[in-house]
Every structure is written in C-alpha cells, then in structure tokens.
C-alpha cells in the first residue's frame, strides 16, 4: 500500500515526503491523502490530550497498571485509532480542508503569476 492510498502512520516521514512530491506534481489524489493525514494528526492529538486528562496514575509507581510500556502501547494504539477514525467518513475535517483548498484554487485565475484573483469574494479566509 503506497503513501497515497493510505500510510500506516500519520507521523511517517517517508509517507509525508511522498505526499510532498506528489503535491508538486499536481496529483489531485494527493489533496485527499494530505487532508486525511491532517485529520489523523488532529485526532491523534485529541486522543493524546484525552488520555493525559484522564491520567489517574500520577507519578510512576503510583498506579500498578501504569508504566512506560503501557504508555508506549497506548500511544501506538491512539495513533492507529486516529488513522482509522480519519478514514471515510472521518469526522469531517478532511472534507472541509479539501473543499476550502478547491475553492482557493478556483478563486485564483489560471495562469496568473501575479496572484490575480477571479472572484475576490471567494478568497480564503
């Protein structure tokens, strides 16, 4: 499975580098893959914040079920869960990013090197 069809990790530098190269080539599938990566990273941060907010262990050794190994395992679990949640239909963040990028592309006049805008009202915020 290649980086465009779905990376195994949203933090994989090789997959992000492949997306960057595809974006330079103008591949439209790259937009969706990049938006899904962004949604996955967002969800991963959300899960990480939720875990830290519900941390009952406090210091190491205070909770017999909390250790460096379990923290590593739960961080890997959260990363994979975020990747799964970001796939269709996801939470909608990727779809909003895709729609905004497409509107931005349509707002810029084709072939205008000076940054001329066809419709100023359609400019991104």
> Domain ranges in the chain?
13-94
Distance CA(31)–CA(33), nearest Å, equals 6
More confident residue, 30 or 16: 30
Side-chain half-sphere exposure of 104, counting CA atoms within 13 A: 10
Using alpha carbons, select from 32, 8, 15 the residue that is nearest to residue 83: 8
34-92 pLDDT, tens digit each: 889 899 999 999 999 998 887 665 555 567 777 888 889 999 999 999 999 988 788 99
> pTM to 2 decimals?
0.68
Give yes or no for a cis peptide into 113 (omega within 30° of 0). no
Q: Which candidate, 107, 63, 119, places its Cα nearest to that of 54? A: 63
The per-residue pLDDT for range 114-125, each reduced to its tens digit, is 555 555 555 555
């Amino acid at each position: 499975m290649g980086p465009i069809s779905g990376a195994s990790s949203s933090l994989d530098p090789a997959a992000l580098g492949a997306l960057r190269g595809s974006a330079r080539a103008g591949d439209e599938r790259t937009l969706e893959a990049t938006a899904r990566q962004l949604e996955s990273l967002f969800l991963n941060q959300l899960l990480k914040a939720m875990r830290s907010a519900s941390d009952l262990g406090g210091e190491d050794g205070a909770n017999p079920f909390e250790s460096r190994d379990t923290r590593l395992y739960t961080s890997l679990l959260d990363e994979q869960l975020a990747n799964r949640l970001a796939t269709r239909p996801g939470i909608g963040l990727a779809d909003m990013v895709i729609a905004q990028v497409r509107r931005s592309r349509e707002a810029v006049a084709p072939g205008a090197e000076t940054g001329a805008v066809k419709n100023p009202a359609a400019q991104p915020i």
